[in-house]
Copies of this chain bind each other. A is one copy, B any other.
């Protein structure tokens, strides 16, 4: 069951400048940053609020590490903006299989590594009214290293 807006993924050309925009304009601070080589992104997570399911909602700022990554190609086509939205669940495996069973294309056979030790998958935007949609199960707190 999807129980929160986990994050909004925002693609940008320059992560440092974009982080500075969010800090200077709104006071949002970087909670965590990492490079995800599999996804081909350098990213910063800005924690905005905690959520009623015991999780939190973040902005995820994404700069591609290579032009041929999914985010790199998306940026070249669309320019900066909202790249995807993500819902949090305690069971990304079960939920993604259930959603696949409803005829929505799930992009990975098995969930992959996301931010902060999470496990993630994506749903095809053409099956989701134009919205690239991610499902996330956060790492247990003890495994979170930020």
The number of residues on chain A lying at the interface, defined by a beta carbon within 8 Å of a beta carbon of chain B, is 37
CB distance from A126 to the nearest CB of B (A): 10
Distance between Cα atoms of A12 and B104 in the complex (Å): 18
Q: How many copies does the complex hold?
A: 2
Contact status A81-B51, CB under 8 Å: no
* Chain A contacts to B: CB under 8 angstroms: 1-5, 8, 10, 12, 18, 21, 24-28, 48-53, 57, 59, 79-82, 85, 87, 99, 102, 104, 125, 128-131
A-B CB contact pairs (8 Å), 25 listed: A1-B27, A2-B48, A5-B8, A5-B49, A5-B57, A5-B59, A8-B8, A18-B129, A21-B128, A24-B102, A25-B104, A25-B128, A26-B87, A26-B99, A48-B87, A49-B53, A50-B51, A51-B51, A51-B52, A51-B57, A80-B129, A80-B130, A81-B125, A82-B82, A82-B131
